[in-house]
Amino acid sequence: MSTYHFHGNVSGPNNIGDHGTINIGEQDTAARTLRLAAELAQWLRAEGAGPERLDAAQALRGELERAGQEGRPAEPGLIRRSLETVTLGLGAGSAGLALAQEISRLLG
């Protein structure tokens, strides 16, 4: 067993992690979410989804791209409506439903 010797201030502010921040959990979720949104749109096209689903997938992807470029969170109402439209009628266990659920999970 190894030991770790800490010679810093244990009761005051410390500089831990990259630039004094500690990141726990998944990193770069914005890029991952955008990639999943692109995969979802591609899957819908391959499955011959109707225009309303394709439009919703494009709206979802567009909002994620704009939010990333502007450095703001994605608009939750638009995301929710888009995901609801896309997933309406998708079978349990389908790739499209799995992608939509993962996007929803990443966005919180």
pTM of the complete model beyond 0.85: no
SS (H, E, C) 54-104: HHHHHHHHHHHHHHHHHCCCCCHHHHHHHHHHHHCCCCCCCHHHHHHHHHH
Confidence of residue 54 (pLDDT cuts 50, 70, 90): very high
Q: What is the pLDDT of residue 101?
A: 86
Residues 20-50 have pLDDT tens digits of: 554 445 556 778 888 989 998 998 899 888 8
- Report whether 45 contacts 55 (CB < 8 A): no
pLDDT at 57: 93
Q: What pLDDT, in 10s, does the model give residues 69-98?
A: 998 888 889 999 999 999 887 777 688 888
pLDDT over threshold 90, residue 61:
yes
